[in-house]
Amino acid sequence: MSQNMLSYRKSYYLYISLALILISYFIYRSQAGIEGSNGGTPQGYFLGTLATVLVVWLALLGIRKRSFQSRLGSVKAWVSAHVYLGSSLIVVASFHSAFQLGINIHSFAFLLLLLVIFSGFYGVFAYIRYPAKIVALSDGRSGEESLALLNSLKEEIVATYKDLDSELQMTVSSAIERTDIAGSILDMLLARDGSMMCRTVVGTRVDVVSNRAQQPLIDIVAQRIPRANRATEPELLLSLLNLLTRRQQLVENLRVNLQLKARMRVWLFIHTPISIALLVALTIHIVSVFFYW
Amino acid sequence: MIFLIRHRNTATGKVQDVKMSAPMIALGSDLDQHLYIPSPHIHGRHALIKMSSGKASVKGLGWNKILVNGQAVYRKVLQVNDEVKLGDQTIKVLAAPEGFDFACEMTLDPVQRTTTLAESWQREVKPRIWTPRRLAYFSAVTLFVIAFWLPYTAYLSGSSSMNEQPWIDLITAIGHTQNQSWRADSLWSPGPLLAAHRNAIGNDCSTCHTQAFEPVSDTACANCHSQSDQHFDHQFFADSALHSSLGESGLNSLLTPASTALNDMGNAISSMPRCESCHKEHNEPQSIIATTDILCTQCHEDSISGSDGVVTQIATAFNELEHPQFRYSFLTALKDIEPEVQSPELVAAWRRITQTDLSIAVENSHLKFSHEIHLQLDEPALDCSSCHILDVGNEHFVAINMQDHCAECHALEFNEREIPHGDPALAIRSIEEYFIALYLTPGRVNDTLPRRLPGRLVRRCEGSDYECAVQKAEQEIQLQFGTSGCVTCHQVNAVENSASEGEAGWSGLSQSWHVEPVRINSDWYSNARFDHAAHLTQAGQSQRELCRGCHEAESSSLSTDVLIPKNETCFGCHSDSSENDKIAVDCVNCHLHHTPRTSSAMLDYN
């Protein structure tokens, strides 16, 4: 069984993190001075320093990932430690704050920290769960191979419908042309299908209508089969239906594939910028505490 | 509007006509457009073709320009054979056939249409504007401005020294706008300000934080608290130097009266703690008064010899093992412990002393009194509260006095005449006056002769009326002071060699008896505090039962008995923790903070 970031070295860094949490707990509980539990006690300062060092070290993963010549441990080890030690920060930082929150930069830094960590949790989930799903969806094909298959299906469809009536030709060709697998970023994330097609609505008048999941098109073709005029038409329609159904499945797989890839990436749009914001907030937190000592 | 769109496949040359009906023709890269143009350079809704007065015209949406016959325009009336170019797509205007309002021809490039899906497949979550890097820069800069720069300007606007800098005018102008209800530097506040401070100084952090990167100075505290009572024994702690563990530098302005302390600031005692060492702000739960035991026990884990010679014993917690025995605080007549004092003022003075051995503690109030007898009476039935009325503050009781607490039952009378209480000389004169008046009143002497008893002679006074009156008064005074009156409750001594003549022609009897002044101790633990009211609330018990729980008055027959409870009584219910169903108490629940031990505090003049 291959190791992922959680099971790396038998979850070695999980135990490091648990030990860190335990030590932090005892340090937190040892606060019995006149202030009680507080970020300003010696223990509070120690926990704050520990949390700061952890935050800075966690942020360094971005540099380590790009330093291919680095000998400071493998990237796998860094990522595993990043996940576990980053998770322990929830506890360490909470103990540092002594659960005293308010509307100020200090609590805001804590909020940013939580956002970074929880967005990271989603990242861990995505990186562990989605690759296997993507492989299962692609059915052993690469993306390019899937596209090539899609293109060959299109050619087959065109070859099939050229002997059908022009109205159906127009509908099918417009549906193929207006097939969507990735619209906006939100469409990608939600696997939202904006596919459209031109369809005769009244008489000879044509309108642009939805072709979500390609099902309306398939329905039109299917409804045409009983009304076929010529002897060869049913066979052509059945053949077309078969091709459109295969295409429907392939398009859907591509769309979900793109959705999973987008989900694997989108969390970084929160994780990375907020990590930088956190570093700034953390600096302001430290400076302001000693500025107004 | 009915329009015809002719699709011409450039690869096969095949033509396909599509008839549509809509108020106008929409052109763009969105899939729902009438003329779908799959190009990254074309907006989703890029342009419109609509009919007006029988003429078709094209119009770019928003800031989009359209190339018509090679000319970039926002709007243009279309003529037959005009070519409209959108991205790589060319739309040629045709003559509208019969029944159509408008007709055009689009060329379809199959290769281009095929690459559309391939482009979609390559698409990633990659915003054009808000890339992660830009988001990071934006959030960092925004945060810096809001959470650092604005608070810093607020600090500068509040700092008088900085206001003198001309370059700071612009910044202070911004800062002043924040002066009213909210200031940006409140974002730096690590916790809520105590309500009293918030009401006094509002949001002006610089009131206390006068210097950046320096702890709040004692001077800043003293600026407002110059009139605060001193609550810290300066001399004691300066000598013991034990509080060095609390702070590193600075003289606590409240060690001495603040105004003096400010003058002495230059002579700071390095071992003294600062105000902030004990009084923590911006903390939760909000409390400027530190109540935790550690503040006391970190000094009192060793016995402490104060400058006044008093040794404070080790106290690290409130339980049988870690708290020393209570020590009574007695009022004792100064002449009883220092017989050599001569000054009339000092002879009359009482001193408060500490009794360390409670087992031998006796009270010497110069009063004779039995709680036992009084509490056994049936008529009137007396209770503790018959005499002991809780005073304001719920700690002590209203002082016992003759008039309010004794006179109702113990009237000082003879021959239906009241003897004044509290001044022995006045009482003697009152008796003497009575008999002189009686004897010198014509025709009334015989009335006062005692009735002769059978077998006994009536002894008559042989002297003058005045001498007889004095003689009679002396007998009555002897009776009142030496046998059955004052001496019942007071320590009374006959004065030997008293003057034969008193003031202003009085006989001198007024100086013949001395009644020891009475001082009942009302504050047995003068450095402690106690709330009687809080301890008199137990359900199901009468008041006498509640009092008896701590004070063994019913078995006390002597006024020398000390009925004040000792450690054990308190330990029955209280401890330093709430374990074993005990009620937890902090040091400061019972102890006053160290108060200055001045001569005036130690001597309690009569």
Give tens-digit pLDDT for B197-208: 888 887 788 888
Looking at beta carbons, which residues of chain A come within 8 Å of B143?
277, 280-281, 284
Confidence of residue B503 (pLDDT cuts 50, 70, 90): low
Residue B228 CB: number of other CB atoms within 10 A?
13
Confidence of residue B246 (pLDDT cuts 50, 70, 90): very low
Dist CA B325 CA B355 (whole Å): 11
Per-residue pLDDT at B114: 54
Min Cα separation B606/chain A (Å): 41
ipTM: 0.84
Cβ atoms of B288 and B193 closer than 8 Å: no
Higher pLDDT, B250 or A30: A30
Confidence of residue B240 (pLDDT cuts 50, 70, 90): very low
Please name which of B76, B116, B124, B96 lies closest in space to residue B17, comparing C-alpha atoms: B96
Confidence of residue B273 (pLDDT cuts 50, 70, 90): low
Confidence of residue B306 (pLDDT cuts 50, 70, 90): low
Distances (CA, A) of B264 to B239, B251, B256, B274, B331: 17, 8, 10, 14, 36
Q: How many helices (H) and strands (E) does chain A have?
A: 11, 2
Range in A31-35, A121-125, B254-258, B278-282 with the lowest mean pLDDT: B254-258
Higher pLDDT, A115 or B338: A115
Would you give the DSSP letter of residue B145?
I
Distances (CA, A) of A225 to A157, B155, B236: 16, 81, 108
Cβ atoms of A218 and A245 closer than 8 Å: yes
- Asked if B410 reaches chain A (Cβ–Cβ under 8 Å), the answer is no
How do residues A232-291 score in pLDDT, each as one tens digit? 888 889 999 999 999 999 999 989 998 999 999 888 888 999 999 999 999 999 999 999
Confidence of residue B113 (pLDDT cuts 50, 70, 90): low
- CA B366, B371, B373, B379 dihedral sign is positive
Buried b (16+ CB within 10 A) or exposed e, B246-263: bbeebbbbbbbbbeebbe
Dist CA A269 CA A274 (whole Å): 8
Average pLDDT score over residue span A210-225: 92
Average pLDDT score over residue span B216-223: 83
User: Amino acid identity of B380?
Assistant: P
Looking at beta carbons, which residues of chain B come within 8 Å of A156?
none
Residue B589 CB: number of other CB atoms within 10 A?
16
How do residues B314-329 score in pLDDT, each as one tens digit? 888 888 888 888 888 8
For B36, phi and psi rounded to 5 degrees? Answer: -80, 120
Cβ atoms of A139 and A250 closer than 8 Å: no
Per-residue pLDDT at B14: 77
Average pLDDT score over residue span B288-302: 76
Per-residue pLDDT at B517: 84
Average pLDDT score over residue span B219-235: 67
Q: Does position A85 have pLDDT exceeding 90, yes or no?
A: yes
Element (H, E) at A253: helix A233-266
Per-residue pLDDT at B450: 58
Residue A174 buriedness (CB in 10 A; 0-12 / 13-18 / 19+):
buried
**């990242």: which residue's tokens?**
A123
Residue B460 CB: number of other CB atoms within 10 A?
9
Min Cα separation A1/chain B (Å): 30
Higher pLDDT, B443 or A264: A264
Cβ atoms of A180 and B120 closer than 8 Å: yes
- Asked if A145 reaches chain B (Cβ–Cβ under 8 Å), the answer is no
- Which of B17, B283, B286 to probe the A interface (max A CBs under 10 A)? B283
Please name which of B551, B441, B295 lies closest in space to residue A32, comparing C-alpha atoms: B295
Closest chain B CA to residue A276: B136
**pTM for this entry:** 0.67
- CA B561, B566, B569, B574 dihedral sign is positive
Average pLDDT score over residue span B361-376: 87
DSSP string, B46-72: -EEEEEETTEEEEEESTT--EEETTEE
Per-residue pLDDT at A139: 81
Per-residue pLDDT at B112: 57
Dist CA A7 CA B103 (whole Å): 66
Per-residue pLDDT at B220: 85
Average pLDDT score over residue span B101-110: 80
Per-residue pLDDT at B210: 85
Per-residue pLDDT at B434: 87
Cβ atoms of B283 and B289 closer than 8 Å: no
Per-residue pLDDT at B262: 36
What mean pLDDT value characterizes chain B? 77
- Which of A177, A195, A207 to probe the B interface (max B CBs under 10 A)? A177
Cβ atoms of B515 and B392 closer than 8 Å: no
Q: Does position B237 have pLDDT exceeding 80, yes or no?
A: no
Task: Please compute, for residue A69, the number of CA atoms within 13 A of its CA located in the half-sphere on the CB side.
Answer: 0
Average pLDDT score over residue span B332-350: 75
Range in A239-243, A257-261, B124-128, B405-409 with the lowest mean pLDDT: B124-128
Average pLDDT score over residue span B468-473: 85
**Beta-sheet strand order (sheet of B75-77):** B35-36, B25-28, B47-52, B55-60, B75-77
Looking at beta carbons, which residues of chain B come within 8 Å of A102?
189-192
Cis check for the bond before B420: say yes or no (omega within 30 of 0).
no
Output the CA angle A93-A98-A101, nearest 5 degrees: 85
Range in B2-11, B88-97, B298-307 with the lowest mean pLDDT: B298-307
Range in B126-130, B350-354, B451-455 with the lowest mean pLDDT: B451-455
Dist CA B84 CA B73 (whole Å): 10
Closest chain B CA to residue A152: B114
